[in-house]
Amino acid sequence: MDEDFFNNELIENFEQMLDNRDYKYYDSEDLVEIIEFYIEVNDSEYAKRALEYAEKLHPDNLDIRIKRIDYLLFTNKLKEAAVIIKELKEIAAKEIDYLLVEARFWGMKNMPKKAIKIYEKALEIDDEETDFICNCIGNEYLNLDEVHSALVAFKKAIKFNPENDYSFYSIIQCYEEINDEKDCIEFLKDYIEDNPYSEAAWLQLGLLYNHQKEYDEAINAFDYVIAINPNSISAHTNKANSLDFLGRYNDAIATLEETLEYDTSAASTYLKIGELYEKLDKTQKALKSYHISIKEDPQLDKAWANLAALYDKLANFDEAEYYINRAIELDNDNINYYRNSIYYLLKQMKFEEAIEHLEKLIELDPLVFNSWYAYIETLIAIGEYEQAIAIIITGALKNFNRAELFYQLSNAYYHTDQDKLGDEALTNALLLNRSLKDNMLEIYPILQEKILNINQEPS
């Protein structure tokens, strides 16, 4: 909607008249424009006042009666709209505005086939709004899940008006839904032939080439976008991704750095640059980029997490722990952050803190066996055998009937002098998976002396 639409002198004068409780004559065309404005800006109260004023001045005017239908559809009063649609059926059957509101009515009634028929009638008598009507037809076909038919309609719309963005992106959406990237690429090539300066088309073409792993073609497309709009952050970012996939990390960094002067979200750019420096094994430059990213946006959790991982590689576990905790504060439900935190804590033998995060990890994703196993193993490591037994019985075994759990359970029972229960658990472990026996005897030495007491011979 252009700026003039919102700075409409007609609207200002009308509202001033209402505020002053004056009376002024408006012809029907001006009133139709005023009503349309308020419907467009979703102002139902003023739309109602304008409509009532229009009906008093021009009670029998067909265009205003049609606007009444429009308003009723806008306020979702379909029963009232149906009455007027029926009343005007004969006298307005060839009026384009009437056909459009009738078609919309049937669309809102979830009768897309009937809506399409009305829109097709409208096409027969109007050649100025072909793109709008075809877009409406395309939408109704989408409601029917007839994506190919929708695609035909949207292509007809864009042929009539190549600058219609709605038609363009609807075509892209249709190709996505039918999973036909190759035909979409051909459509974009044809479109670009007629519209060589279309930034959107070149960008979409580059994205599709990227998805097809045709990175050189993608870079070429993104270069065209940059030639058309040197400040296109999306083109630079996606070009950098293509260069990244090709292993051209230095070129990717240079491409991203071009955006830093005008990028309003530089934090994400510095984050990506840091990741590229890591791939080049330039640790100090990566650290610097991540720190700048955090300075630009302290809420960017991934930058904190990446710093934690990098400090871990440098064996600086205190720093790793600090930065991953900041990431967790920013995204308290991120499973990967908890996993990394547990890893850093266990390296420092900080079992109590690790247990807290293991509990949270299991709460977030209870169906991951390794989380339960690590949780129980950590409890065993600090001698919390009773708690380990409770966790295995009341939690882990409800989700997994795994031999590892029974080996852990038997170990915990033996350490709490519950040999009979230990024997039962060890028997179950051997029945479920005897091949793990040697490894488990190594982890839990107490099982070496106990295994001979049960009624199964060791293999």
Q: For residue 19, what pLDDT is reported? A: 87
Using the predicted structure, report yes or no on whether residue 136 has a pLDDT greater than 90.
yes
Q: How many helices (H) and strands (E) does the chain have?
A: 29, 0
Task: Name the amino acid, one letter, at 326.
Answer: R
Cα–Cα distance, 288 to 285 (Å, whole number): 5
- In this structure, the number of other CB atoms found within 10 A of the CB of residue 452 comes to 9
* Length of the chain, in residues: 459
Using the predicted structure, report yes or no on whether residue 389 has a pLDDT greater than 80.
yes
Per-chain mean pLDDT for the chain: 93
Contact yes or no for 142/175 (Cβ under 8 A): no
Q: How confident is the model at residue 265 (pLDDT cuts 50, 70, 90)?
A: confident
* Those residues with Cβ within 8 angstroms of residue 367's Cβ, 6 or more apart along the chain or in another chain: 399
**Which pair of tokens denotes residue 276?**
């590229």
Helix (H, G, I), strand (E, B) or coil at 417: coil
**Which pair of tokens denotes residue 279?**
């791939």
| Tens digit of each residue's pLDDT (9 = 90 or more) over 40-98 | 999 999 999 999 999 999 999 999 999 999 999 999 999 999 999 999 999 998 899 99
Task: Name the amino acid, one letter, at 82.
Answer: A
Contact yes or no for 293/267 (Cβ under 8 A): yes
Using the predicted structure, report yes or no on whether residue 152 has a pLDDT greater than 80.
yes
Q: For residue 458, what pLDDT is reported? A: 44
Q: Where are the alpha helices (DSSP H) in 20-109?
A: 28-40, 44-57, 62-74, 78-88, 96-108
Q: For residue 454, what pLDDT is reported? A: 74
Cα–Cα distance, 316 to 92 (Å, whole number): 79
Torsion, CA 166, CA 168, CA 170, CA 172, rounded to 10? -150
Cα–Cα distance, 225 to 194 (Å, whole number): 16
Using the predicted structure, report yes or no on whether residue 417 has a pLDDT greater than 70.
yes
- Smallest CA-to-CA distance from 303 within 282, 335, 331, 262 is with 331
Place of tokens 């939408």: 139
Cα–Cα distance, 98 to 212 (Å, whole number): 46
Q: For residue 337, what pLDDT is reported? A: 96
Over range 364-373, report the average pLDDT. 94
The pTM of the full predicted model, rounded to 2 decimals, is: 0.81
Q: For residue 455, what pLDDT is reported? A: 52
Q: What is the sign of the dihedral through the CA atoms of 146, 151, 156 and 157?
A: positive
Residue 267 has phi, psi (to 5 degrees) of: -55, -45
Report the range out of 201-205, 364-368, 428-432 with the highest average pLDDT: 201-205
Q: Calculate what percentage of the chain has a pLDDT beyond 70.
A: 97
Q: Answer with the residue of higher pLDDT: 404 or 129.
A: 404
Contact yes or no for 175/201 (Cβ under 8 A): no
Over range 141-156, report the average pLDDT. 97
* Beta-carbon-side half-sphere exposure of residue 4 (alpha carbons within 13 Å): 0
| Tens digit of each residue's pLDDT (9 = 90 or more) over 219-240 | 999 999 999 999 999 999 999 9
| Consecutive H or E run containing 222 | helix 215-228
Using the predicted structure, report yes or no on whether residue 364 has a pLDDT greater than 50.
yes
Contact yes or no for 84/64 (Cβ under 8 A): no
Over range 118-140, report the average pLDDT. 93
Q: How confident is the model at residue 287 (pLDDT cuts 50, 70, 90)?
A: very high
* Beta-carbon-side half-sphere exposure of residue 452 (alpha carbons within 13 Å): 3
Contact yes or no for 455/424 (Cβ under 8 A): no
Q: For residue 208, what pLDDT is reported? A: 98
Q: How confident is the model at residue 264 (pLDDT cuts 50, 70, 90)?
A: confident
Contact yes or no for 444/455 (Cβ under 8 A): no
- One DSSP character per residue, 419-434 reads HHHHHHHHHHHHHH-G
Q: For residue 453, what pLDDT is reported? A: 73
Using the predicted structure, report yes or no on whether residue 407 has a pLDDT greater than 80.
yes
How many whole angstroms from its chain centre is CA 434?
Answer: 46
- In this structure, the number of other CB atoms found within 10 A of the CB of residue 44 comes to 12
Using the predicted structure, report yes or no on whether residue 2 has a pLDDT greater than 70.
no
Using the predicted structure, report yes or no on whether residue 457 has a pLDDT greater than 50.
no
Q: For residue 1, what pLDDT is reported? A: 37
Q: Calculate what percentage of the chain has a pLDDT beyond 90.
A: 89
- Smallest CA-to-CA distance from 167 within 141, 135, 192, 143 is with 135
* CA diameter of the chain: 106
